[in-house]
Structure 1
Amino acid sequence: MQVSLIGLSVFAITLIVAYYSRGMLIIGLVASLAFGSTAMMTLTSLGGSSPLIYTLFAALLVMAVTARRRIWLDLGNVFGSIRPIWVLSALMAYAIVGAWFLPRFFAGQTSVFVQSRTRMSVVEASLAPVSANISQTGYFILGGLTAIALCALLLHTNRIDQIRRGFFLWCGLHTTMGLVDFLGKSSGAGDLLAPIRTANYAIITGAEEAGFTRIAGAYSEASAFGGVSLACLAFCYTYWRKTRSRLAQWLALTLLVLIVLSTSSTAYVGLAILSIPVAFSIARSLISGRIGSDEILIMTLLACGLAAALGIAVVNAGFFDPFIRLIEATIINKSTSSSGLERTYWNVKSLQAFVDTSGLGIGFGSSRASSWPIAVLSQLGLFGAIMMAILLGVIFRGLGRYSARVDLETDAVATSVKNCALASIVSGSLVSGTADPGIVFFVALAVISATRVRARSTGNATRPLLEQRGARRRQGSWDVAMQRS
């Protein structure tokens, strides 16, 4: 095991900031996601796996909840009131058993893609137990335990404000480091964030695409930065639409600019997918005649941008040629490039492995795909994929009808976290090679599940009461006006 002093220093600084933000473990856990290539150590016994600093925050959160004197009562409340937690627990057990049993039972019966220690690249090999069976399953189990621990805390005390501050700190750090990376490379200063890239990953931060410098932020490559930027943009945009927060508005605009400049095909395709529900929402508002000021702002900005682009094209016909080459390289010709063909082949072989194992799967971490749904299907099999789909359905449903039973802030935070998790799933569906949906998925599962339970238990909640009081005040004002008349 090799310890990274820089990684430990970043962890300590994040812990101190989270402590003074009055939510050390929850805020620290979410904020630490901004450091996507900062590891505290490298585990040579597990094939060089290097846990990022968020894993220590997650482990501390789980241990803190476990050490509570009322732990059994908390667990009873969680399992007694949140049915999806039973599905999550069954999926965790299935992942552990499958990671050990399946690659041994089906050894040599199909081919998979694994990380080669000697060649430092992904190679095709016959199915066999690998170190990733332990490391990736461990990350997944840690995420599941984090969701259970968060449910216990959120059911006991309303900590939605800590969730909000944690996500804003994460988005702020991610945006800031993206700007630092972009300005450093654009000014010729190089990779200013190189000292904090301590993870044992393939670091691809100095690459260019069609003459444009690729933005990686605090991550190992532009694709990872683009995927996380989509998740942060979804959170900030949703929170802005719900609350008209100026902070969320400016973060969303800055993240949108960074996504455009990132040269990441994942970010571009993901942004196009996420724009579809936004376009439908605006169209529905136009048809119903209930368009809001924020939607007018969005359409105005789009119109101004289009008019500016047309004006520039008229004055200088070749101005957009570099951007056209960028779009061609990252989107249009991406599927026919060597990397695109390679990743397509990974997905084809992963689906073949699912067929070769009669739908049982090859075990968590046994192979690498290039799409999260395909990785889930090939590694967890049909049974595991069904359980994962159930959990994804819980997040997609969100608060549902219970949104009317919680206060506006809780509704805004829960909906923003939900959309953040769904955006991360969209980006993962484009490039992710593992069946692990990521820690944001588990945080969103806990926030939504616990909030629904609290809304059910409170019965008449804050928003209906406020509406009733407002109605009584309006009725009283009407009565006074009638008496005066």
Structure 2
Amino acid sequence: MSFEPIGAITVGLGLLCLLLGRHATVLGFVVFCTLGSAAAILIGGANVPPAHLFLVFLLVATLCWRKLLVNAVTSLKTSEPGFWLLCLVTYGILSSYILPRLFAGSTFIVPLGSSDHLATLDGIVPLGPVSSNLTQPIYLLGDLACFVTIMAVGSTQRGFATITTALIAYAFVNLCFGALDLLTSATGTQDALQIIRNAQYTFHDEESVGDMRRIIGSWPEASAFASMTLTAFAFTATMWLYGRRSLTTGAIALMSLLFVVLSTSSTGLAGAAVMLVVLYAIALTRCGTQREYWNASAIVVFAPLLVAVIGLYVISEAHIFARIYDYVDTLILSKSTTSSGLQRSYWNEVALGNFLDTFGLGVGLGTNRTSSFPLALLSNIGVPGLLFYLVFIAMVFGSRRGMPRTFAADVRGAARVACFSALTAGILAGPTVDQGLLFYVFAGLACAAPERERATDGAPALR
């Protein structure tokens, strides 16, 4: 086991946040979710990310309070989404131990972790236990703890406001890491970021598409950076459309969209197209003449005009049209014919075979690698796990809509849009069942109900 320098920094800041109070700890935890390429602790071939280590401080800071502990336990009732997430995690943990042994040798897998078998030239091995059968259940337990804790904290007015601020801070810090990635690459000082690029992943920090360098920020590859930036864009852009903290959220949303496009990720580019349509549909439902509706009204009126003007200009300039077409063709239209696209298609083909060969039960959580989140669910935890997840996500999207156009309702709406964005990216290129802590922060916020709490002394108004 190796305790890394970023781990020492995480512990130090965690202790400081504990001294400052639980709201500082919530803020610190959400911001630490940006460090997707870092490992606070290395255990053999496994990584403990800083956010997962900081989750311990979040649990200590929040669940030692009786009221928040009650809120957390309440979130696990059968009528709450937390119960179905608990069922998913429980089944996933059991499947990670039982299924690779029950169906050992019955099919071939693309292993997510290290295997006792030698891989063929196609990268497949006979089904059996792999190292990620241990790490993935731990990550999923972390997701459950994150969801329950965020939902508990968000059920207080001050906690709800803190989480909202923390997510905006996350989006800003993520942009800063993207800018640092570009700056260090341009100046030849990439080693300055090695402290947050120490995880035992395959890094793609020197790749380019044409003459454009791929941006990875604080993530291992451009696809991960684009997916997380797109989620931040979805949240801040929706908040801006709703007229909430417009100056801050509007600027961050615009810059996030720019970084998604510049990241040269096909996942990000395709996901951005989907989210722009979703956001325009949201704007149509929120336009009006009152001041709080001006942002949405401006988008409804001017977005089609802007698209038409840009489209006409691009068509009229042949060299610009050719460059944009080549860019889109490289990232999306011809993606399936590239070595990366063929490899990902092969992973999905093998994963589908795993699902069928195990009679719909799956090969066990963390056993195999895919390139699409639905196939990760089906091939890893089968039909039972898929059903648990579908009930959970349906309750996340359907719960606590509340009175329209209140601060809490608008933030919950923005959190749902962010969850949808993460799901879109996962469908396009999700390798595992674990969707990351940030997804469950948004899901927990979407289910929180601060309206149930009476305003307490010192609690900020929700606005």
TM-score class, shorter? 0.7 to 0.9
Aligned to 1:54: 51
Query: Would you say the 8 A contact 1:181–1:192 is kept in 2?
Result: no
Aligned to 2:361: 360
Rounded to whole Å, the distance in 1 between the matches of 2:256 and 2:69 is: 42
String of CA shifts for 1:335-369, please: whole Å, max 9, x gaps. Answer: 11111111111111111111111111111001111
Percent identical: 27
CA shift for structure 1 position 211? 1.7
Rounded to whole Å, the distance in 1 between the matches of 2:134 and 2:263 is: 33
Structure 1 residues 446 and 307, CA, compared in 2 at 3 Å: closer, same or farther? closer
CA shift for structure 1 position 389? 0.5
Aligned to 1:84: 81
Specify the code of the residue in structure 1 equivalent to 2:421.
Answer: A
String of CA shifts for 1:274-307, please: whole Å, max 9, x gaps. Answer: 1222233456678x99995324543536644653
Structure 1 residues 341 and 403, CA, compared in 2 at 3 Å: closer, same or farther? farther
Deviates more, 1:390-399 or 1:228-237: 390-399
- For structure 2, the 5+ residue unaligned runs are 455-463
Specify the code of the residue in structure 2 equivalent to 1:408.
Answer: T
Structure 1 residues 159 and 43, CA, compared in 2 at 3 Å: closer, same or farther? same
Matched residue of 2:125: which SS? strand
Rounded to whole Å, the distance in 2 between the matches of 1:75 and 1:183 is: 42
Aligned to 2:249: 248
Aligned to 1:410: 408
Rounded to whole Å, the distance in 1 between the matches of 2:65 and 2:306 is: 56
Query: Would you say the 8 A contact 2:234–2:414 is kept in 1?
Result: yes
Query: Would you say the 8 A contact 1:399–1:415 is kept in 2?
Result: no
Matching of residue 419 in structure 1 with residue 417 in structure 2: yes
Matching of residue 113 in structure 1 with residue 110 in structure 2: yes
> Residues 173-192 of structure 1: matches in 2 within 5 Å?
173-186=173-186
Structure 1 residues 17 and 89, CA, compared in 2 at 3 Å: closer, same or farther? closer
Specify the code of the residue in structure 2 equivalent to 1:177.
Answer: F
Rounded to whole Å, the distance in 1 between the matches of 2:157 and 2:311 is: 51
Matched residue of 2:46: which SS? coil
Structure 1 residues 133 and 49, CA, compared in 2 at 3 Å: closer, same or farther? same
CA shift for structure 1 position 430? 1.1
Query: Would you say the 8 A contact 1:7–1:196 is kept in 2?
Result: no
Rounded to whole Å, the distance in 2 between the matches of 1:409 and 1:193 is: 38
- For structure 1, the 5+ residue unaligned runs are 459-485
Specify the code of the residue in structure 2 equivalent to 1:153.
Answer: V
Query: Would you say the 8 A contact 1:116–1:123 is kept in 2?
Result: no
Rounded to whole Å, the distance in 2 between the matches of 1:68 and 1:377 is: 38
Specify the code of the residue in structure 1 equivalent to 2:430.
Answer: S
Number of aligned positions between the proteins: 449
String of CA shifts for 1:385-421, please: whole Å, max 9, x gaps. Answer: 0010111112222533x234xx822222222222212
Aligned to 2:342: 341
Query: Would you say the 8 A contact 1:18–1:28 is kept in 2?
Result: no
> Residues 62-81 of structure 1: matches in 2 within 5 Å?
62-68=59-65, 73-74=70-71, 76-80=73-77
Query: Would you say the 8 A contact 1:39–1:50 is kept in 2?
Result: yes
Matching of residue 445 in structure 1 with residue 443 in structure 2: yes
Aligned to 1:394: 395
Structure 1 residues 18 and 28, CA, compared in 2 at 3 Å: closer, same or farther? farther
Rounded to whole Å, the distance in 1 between the matches of 2:238 and 2:356 is: 40
Aligned to 1:481: none
Aligned to 1:321: 322
Rounded to whole Å, the distance in 2 between the matches of 1:73 and 1:334 is: 49
Structure 1 residues 80 and 359, CA, compared in 2 at 3 Å: closer, same or farther? closer
String of CA shifts for 1:205-262, please: whole Å, max 9, x gaps. Answer: 1111022111111111111000001100011011111124110000001111111111
Rounded to whole Å, the distance in 2 between the matches of 1:195 and 1:337 is: 32
Rounded to whole Å, the distance in 2 between the matches of 1:367 and 1:416 is: 33
Rounded to whole Å, the distance in 2 between the matches of 1:284 and 1:27 is: 31
Rounded to whole Å, the distance in 2 between the matches of 1:65 and 1:20 is: 13
Query: Would you say the 8 A contact 1:210–1:322 is kept in 2?
Result: no
Matched residue of 1:114: which SS? coil
Structure 1 residues 304 and 182, CA, compared in 2 at 3 Å: closer, same or farther? farther
Q: Normalization by structure 2: what TM-score? A: 0.87
Aligned to 2:124: 124
Rounded to whole Å, the distance in 2 between the matches of 1:448 and 1:357 is: 35
Query: Would you say the 8 A contact 1:368–1:375 is kept in 2?
Result: yes
Query: Would you say the 8 A contact 1:232–1:420 is kept in 2?
Result: yes
Aligned to 1:471: none
Specify the code of the residue in structure 2 equivalent to 1:361.
Answer: G
Structure 1 residues 140 and 37, CA, compared in 2 at 3 Å: closer, same or farther? same
Rounded to whole Å, the distance in 2 between the matches of 1:293 and 1:43 is: 52
Aligned to 2:460: none
Q: Normalization by structure 1: what TM-score? A: 0.83
Rounded to whole Å, the distance in 1 between the matches of 2:141 and 2:302 is: 46
Aligned to 2:135: 135
CA shift for structure 1 position 34? 1.3
Query: Would you say the 8 A contact 2:109–2:354 is kept in 1?
Result: yes
Specify the code of the residue in structure 1 equivalent to 2:269.
Answer: Y
Matched residue of 1:42: which SS? strand
